[in-house]
Amino acid sequence: MQWCKYLKVILVLLCATIFTLTIYKVPLGHFKVLVNNSVVERLFHEEPCACMERCLAASDDKWFAEHFRKDVPPVLSLNNSVLPDHIFNWWQSLQSTKSKANYSQVIKELFSVIPEEEWYRDAGPSRCRTCAVVGNSGNLLGSHYGPVIDQHDFVFRMNKATVQGYEKDVGSRTTHRVMYPESATHLDNNTHLVLLPFKTIDIQWITSALTDGSIKRTRFKVIDKLQANKDKVMVMHPAFMHYVHNTWLHIKSQRSYPSTGFLVLIYALHICDEVNVFGFGANDKGTWHHYFEKTPKSLKRTGRHSGGIELQTLLELHERRLIHLYTGW
């Protein structure tokens, strides 16, 4: 494990330091000065993570502290599924639906199929989880980022973004595929599915798609029986989506909600120690399009998403060295 390597380095440095102190009879009071700002200092102050270059949990950035809320759960569990009225009403307003399903019953059925525990509660001084958030921008073409992306512990991809044929630019690994019913695609047995539920029927759909396939339409026709490992399925918490909308984007309009890409970015900030972002924004010619489109179409319109605010926030995170944004050019 990675932390074992760091521990060996620390022990070697500690032994060398003690040896130096003994030979040259350096007063013990000066020992702290010798190790200050070094890797050995980890022995005296518990670090929030084991990453050497960047550790989100160690950030003392005031702007980040004003936005980041550790108390908001990123994914649903059986124990955290109750929603306050204002969040439930906001969530129900995102996409209209005729479904009048009982939310509590929907949740009960969901966790009879997928794991009911809360994921990723393993943060601590021994963990350095590196994550690549891979968007679908055409700026990935010709970037040769593939090997860099594949080196991360977690690789997040969105919706139906294809990998085959683009490996040199987008990588070949996918640990988490984030999707909603209308953008769903079949997964292999090793990939986590992270569902974005924009309405109650979306949660009903994932339960159905992993069992009897009874739901064949949400807003549009959807995959009725999904190939995915039900033990690796999780559902983004509606309260988390509300938090991203209100706290990170400060969106006042009820007609707007965060894009999939931005939700995944903030999700990564909550479960990772180091986050690198690929495939967001325009290419070097200022064109917005998907890398996998054979005939690129302009994506200037962002629908119900506040694209300008999202891009500004993304750049702010990069400038504050909280993430690293790979632009492709």
The sign of the dihedral angle between the CA atoms of 200, 203, 209, 214 is negative
Q: What per-residue confidence (pLDDT) applies to 2?
A: 45
CA 42 to chain centre: 27
The burial class, CB within 10 Å (0-12 / 13-18 / 19+), for 153 is middle
What value does the mean pLDDT of the chain take?
84
**Strand, coil or helix: 192:** strand
Please report where in the chains the tokens 């974005």 appear, as a residue: 196
Q: What per-residue confidence (pLDDT) applies to 52?
A: 83
Q: At what angle do helices 307-319 and 260-271 cross, to 10 degrees?
A: 30
Q: Which residues of the chain have pLDDT under 70?
A: 1-47, 98, 251-255, 295-307, 329
Question: Which residues does 81 contact at the CB level (< 8 Å), separation at least 6?
Answer: 107, 111
**Strand, coil or helix: 287:** coil
Phi, psi of 164 (to 5 degrees): -60, 125
Question: Which residues does 20 contact at the CB level (< 8 Å), separation at least 6?
Answer: 26
Catalytic annotation, residues: 257, 305
